[in-house]
C-alpha cells in the first residue's frame, strides 16, 4: 500500500475519532509504502490494550509475541534509514487481533499523549522466527517533548505513524525492532502509564561497525518506578518548558545513536 507524503503529514485529518481507546502497530512504513498487516510485525493475541506489566514478558513485543504465531517476513532496511510503525485501533469485529488482516486506515490516529522509543536486538541465528528476543537490547531513538512542554506525539497532531531512525553505524544483520508508545495522560500517577508496543523483523544492511550499548534485556529493562515511565504531575503537564521533558530519554538505558 503506497501512501503519499501528504497523507503521512495530515495523518487522518479527514477521519473521525474512533471510539475505542487502545491501539497497536501492526504495519511498517518505509519510503511511504505501508506493509500488509502482520507482514513484518509479530502478531499479538487478544485485543489491542495497554500493558501495565512493564517488567513482564509482554513488555517486549506484546501479548504472546515472544515468538511469532506463524512465520513472518523480514524487512530489509539500510542503516541510517527511517522506518515507521503505523497505528490501528482495536478490531471491532474480532476478539483476537491476530485474526485481523485489514489494510492500514489513514483516518485512524494515536489519540493518547506521550513519548515513544525504538529498540533493537540482534538475533544470534539467521531466522528471526526462531528468536525469542532473549538477547541484548539497545535503544536507538526517542520521540519525547522537543519543546520541553508538549509531547511530540499528542492527540491534537492526529499522528498515526511513529517514525524512527536506524543509526548509520548499526552493524548489519537480522534484528527484532521494538516500537513503544507511552500514554502519559492518566494523571501522572504511579502505575497508570499505558504502554503500547510491537516488534518488527528487520534485516539491517550497510557497513556499520559501531558497538551498540548500553544493553539490557526483556523482561527486566525497566519497571514501574523508572522515571521514564512514572512522571509526577509536575512533569506530566508542566506550565512552562522543562529540561527534564526536553531531554527525556525514556525508561531503561540511554539512547545509542552510533
- Cα(150)–Cα(164) distance, integer angstroms: 19
pLDDT interval class at 162 (50, 70, 90):
very high
Compute the residue count for the chain: 258
Cell of 223: 519497571
pLDDT tens-digit profile of 116-152? 999 999 999 999 999 999 999 999 999 999 999 999 9
Domains and CATH numbers, the chain: 5-246 (2.70.50.70)
What is the structure's pLDDT at 34?
Answer: 98
Calpha distance 101→222 (Å, rounded): 32
> Can you give the pTM of this predicted structure?
0.91
Residue 11's pLDDT is what? 35
Average pLDDT, the chain: 89
pLDDT in tens, 198-209: 999 999 999 999
On whether the CB atoms of residues 74 and 161 are closer than 8 A, the answer is no
Amino acid at each position: 500500500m503506497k501512501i503519499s507524503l501528504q497523507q503521512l503529514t495530515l495523518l487522518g485529518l479527514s477521519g473521525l475519532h474512533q471510539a475505542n481507546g487502545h491501539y497497536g502497530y501492526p504495519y511498517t512504513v518505509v519510503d511511504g509504502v505501508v506493509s500488509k498487516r502482520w507482514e513484518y510485525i509479530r502478531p499479538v493475541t487478544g485485543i489491542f490494550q495497554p500493558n501495565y506489566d512493564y517488567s513482564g514478558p509482554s513488555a517486549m513485543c506484546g501479548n504472546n509475541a515472544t515468538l511469532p504465531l506463524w512465520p513472518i517476513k523480514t524487512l530489509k532496511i539500510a542503516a541510517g534509514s527511517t522506518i515507521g510503525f503505523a497505528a490501528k485501533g482495536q478490531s471491532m469485529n474480532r476478539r483476537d487481533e491476530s485474526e485481523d488482516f485489514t489494510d492500514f486506515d489513514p483516518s485512524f490516529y494515536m489519540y493518547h499523549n506521550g513519548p515513544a522509543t525504538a529498540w533493537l536486538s540482534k538475533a544470534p541465528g539467521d531466522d528471526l522466527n526462531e528468536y525469542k528476543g532473549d538477547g541484548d537490547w539497545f535503544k536507538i531513538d526517542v520521540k519525547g517533548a522537543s519543546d520541553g512542554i508538549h509531547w511530540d506525539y499528542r492527540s491534537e497532531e492526529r499522528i498515526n505513524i511513529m517514525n524512527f531512525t536506524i543509526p548509520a553505524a548499526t552493524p548489519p544483520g537480522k534484528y527484532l525492532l521494538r516500537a513503544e508508545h507511552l500514554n502519559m495522560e492518566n494523571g501522572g500517577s504511579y502505575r497508570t502509564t499505558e504502554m503500547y508496543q510491537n516488534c518488527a523483523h528487520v534485516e539491517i544492511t550497510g557497513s556499520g561497525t559501531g558497538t551498540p550499548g548500553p544493553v539490557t534485556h526483556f523482561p527486566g529493562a525497566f519497571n514501574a518506578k523508572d522515571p521514564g515511565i512514572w512522571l509526577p504531575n509536575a512533569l506530566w503537564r508542566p506550565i512552562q518548558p522543562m529540561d527534564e521533558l526536553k531531554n527525556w530519554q525514556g525508561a531503561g538505558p540511554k539512547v545509542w545513536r552510533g
